[in-house]
Amino acid sequence: MTSRLPHPLRNTLQRRLCLDGGLSTTLENLGADLSHGSLWSARLLRDNPDLIVRVHQSFLEAGADVIGSATYQCSLEKMMEEFGVEKPQAEQYIRLGVRLAKQAVSEYRRKSGRDAFVAAALGSYGAVLADGSEYRGNYGVSCAQIERIHTERVRCVLLESPDLVAFETIPDSDEVRTILRLMEANFSDTPFWVSLQCQSESKLADGSNLDTISAYIKELAPTSMVALGVNCVHPELVRPVIERIRSGLGSNTQILTMCYPNSGEVWEEVDAPNLHSVFTLFSRAPTTHTHLVFGAAEQGWKHVEGKTPSPEEWSNIVVRSGADIVGGCCRTTTSHIRLLRELLY
């Protein structure tokens, strides 16, 4: 397995990497109320930054090699609107998300002697909208608008020198292409990955063909692209998606594969408008589909016998995906990551 990442990540990626798990889930489990407004866990960048550091450290202690910053739903416009601040202060809040992750890694390294890395987490354009469209794509806006939002965010997080930029839950093929062109043209020396949102093993959430994305990446050969993968899907979907991505990229690629699925729980709809969007995947792969509803994430998630794996089963499923980089997304906890780490090493 070869990587074009600069030292010291190059040596680290000679083995499988373990990501963290559900940041918002863990924050909520510790008492944080994320239901107000549309910033989700990023609200705590203002309201309780110490709790963010605490959660980052808990995932490091569970064995994570990479920590994602609390910036998934951030944009300058959204921060200005939600916090009532001007652009310079909005930029500082986004930069703070990366600094908090780096602080957690630094403190953990000092105590344990084990290093870890910070990924500046940037959700899709749909995540910024906070209307659930990161699970369906087809935004109805120009690629220029999508590029503008992503450019502002990338420039902002890079001021804090994260180890890489993580584009997450990308449901739309036009958005994928926009991100790839943007990074190649303006940030070609910045390591990054793209993690997709898929409705099946062969289709993105917007209905476009996954193979066309792999073919586009193979042809473009982005200079600093670390990995291509999938997140926020049922764990049973990750293996067929990873196999298809690996086949599409070809055996000579230097781009790694990655996955970080949700816990496999299902969502029961409740009448709670104006709260952040959540989703679940009901069917088994490869015919898994996305069911989008709205509500408070802690009020309607249900363990369903035969559909929801235990943390032990979940970690085995994720490891069997064969992805080079693995971790967890919605509703996964430090228990999931600890079990995953034990299986990896």
pLDDT digits (tens, 9 = 90+) for 227-285: 999 999 999 999 999 999 999 999 989 899 999 999 998 766 444 333 333 333 332 23
At residue 2, does pLDDT exceed 70? no
Mean pLDDT over residues 159-172, rounded?
Answer: 98
| Number of neighbours of residue 230 by Cβ within 10 angstroms | 30
Which tops the pLDDT comparison, 301 or 70?
70
Mean pLDDT over residues 144-162, rounded?
Answer: 98
Per-position DSSP letters for 39-59, written without gaps between them: -GGGGHHHH-HHHHHHHHHHH
Amino acid at 141: V
pLDDT at 292: 35
Mean pLDDT over residues 45-54, rounded?
Answer: 98
**178-207 burial by CB neighbour count: b if 16+ within 10 A, else e?**
bbbebbeeebeebbbbbbbbbbbbebbbbe
pLDDT at 293: 35
Mean pLDDT over residues 140-150, rounded?
Answer: 97
Q: Do 241 and 209 touch, CB atoms closer than 8 A?
A: no
Residues in the chain: 345
Q: Do 223 and 4 touch, CB atoms closer than 8 A?
A: yes
**Whole-number Å distance between alpha carbons of 317 and 129:** 32
Which tops the pLDDT comparison, 320 or 252?
320
pLDDT at 11: 53
Q: What is the pLDDT of residues 285-308, one digit of tens each?
A: 332 333 333 334 444 567 777 789
Burial class (CB in 10 A: 0-12, 13-18, 19+), 47: middle
pLDDT at 14: 64
Per-residue pLDDT band for 317 (boundaries 50, 70, 90) equals very high
At residue 143, does pLDDT exceed 80? yes
| Reported pTM | 0.89
Q: Is the peptide bond before 286 cis (omega within 30 degrees of 0)?
A: yes
Mean pLDDT of the chain: 88
pLDDT at 306: 78
**Whole-number Å distance between alpha carbons of 36 and 38:** 7
Q: What is the pLDDT of residues 181-194, one digit of tens each?
A: 999 999 999 999 99
For residue 146 the two structure tokens come to: 């999508």
Helices (H), the chain: 9-12, 23-29, 44-47, 49-62, 76-83, 87-112, 125-129, 143-158, 173-186, 210-220, 235-249, 297-300, 311-320, 334-344
Which tops the pLDDT comparison, 163 or 282?
163
pLDDT at 9: 55
